[in-house]
Amino acid sequence: MADALFWMDGYKASDAVESFDSLQPLSHPLNDTDFWAVVGSYEGEWQVVRFAQVESRDRVDIDSDSVNNQSAKWASTLSHGQYRSYVDEIRQEIKNGWVYQVNACRLLESESEIDLRSLFQRIQSHHPAPAAAYFKSENWEVASASPETFFRVDSSAQSRKITASPIKGTSRDGKFLEKDRAENVMIVDLMRNDISPLCEIGSVEVPRLLGVEEHPGLFHLVSDVQGTLKESVSYADLLTRLCPAGSITGAPKSSAREVISRFEPYRGIYCGTVGWIYGGRAHFSVAIRTFFKDLRRSPSKTRFGTGAGITWGSDAESEWSETELKAERLMKIASGLL
């Protein structure tokens, strides 16, 4: 673990002291002076690392020149036709009453040599994102340009507040369809249900609904769900209860995950989470717009995920186009074209 490294929100953590493949160390109150980095896959694999060294750094430094990946070849795990069939099956299951909404994704994969640390530095320059993160360990390497905060925790002497900020609705020009608004409200309801058992009775509220945020190359609809955490709730409780995020599964969550499993046998870090815990505060992202390497299973393969939320009002071709839009800018950055 000597070369483990983490960066997010201006924190650069190094000199790993211990690493765990479970959430067990987060199941009890934590010392505010310890810095914990946490990475979780969509499938529920965890790596929790305690770092001894933490410093303020605006960027992740690299030791070599940026790698130009213009020759990298990428292949989609689902073809155009397979993705359209996926959308059609989801719409049939909505008609059957099995689900209301499902997030249908695909992975872009490359066997080309891609330096993710160098790529993350390019992302910081050309695609700044509010939940961007870099992580490197013996298990995973992650370069994330996530725009989505899964949840934040802020502590005071009196209480701990949790704020989840689900994104649903994507547009190139800031104009959204009724389908986008309905999808966002649906996931807000799901997140309220997810966090309510963890919070004091009557404390859960929605201070922002259907806010419009501008990000590089596109716009999103974003809402906030907030509550006061019960004193007994640990970070292990939070992550066990909330993961994977409702914004990248669907509603109801269990039914949506069953439909997803028919077409997506593996997501890995994509649609998982990356985050930190330090000084009585925490910030976890939803790991979208994320490049990653699964160093235990396929160390030479780089993956990048893209997806779209499917409702009864979805059109299969439009949803495919949305996955293309979400990937477009970051794939250009990965290829050295931006």
Q: Which residues are catalytic?
A: 148, 168
Total H helices, total E strands in the chain: 6, 18
Task: Report d(CA 320, CA 125) in Å as an integer.
Answer: 28
CA separation for the pair 21, 40 (Å, rounded): 10
- Which tokens hold the place of 66? 């940026």
Cβ neighbours around 248 below 10 Å, total? 28
| Cα-Cα end-to-end distance for the chain | 33
| C-alpha dist (Å) from residue 51 to 11, 61, 141 | 11, 18, 16
Tally the residues of the chain: 338
Residue 33's SS3 state is coil
Single-letter code of the amino acid located at 132: A
| Tokens describing residue 103 | 């997030």
Long-range pairs of 80-84 with CB within 8 A, sequence gap ≥ 24 = 80/320, 82/263, 83/316, 83/319, 83/320, 83/323, 84/316, 84/317, 84/320
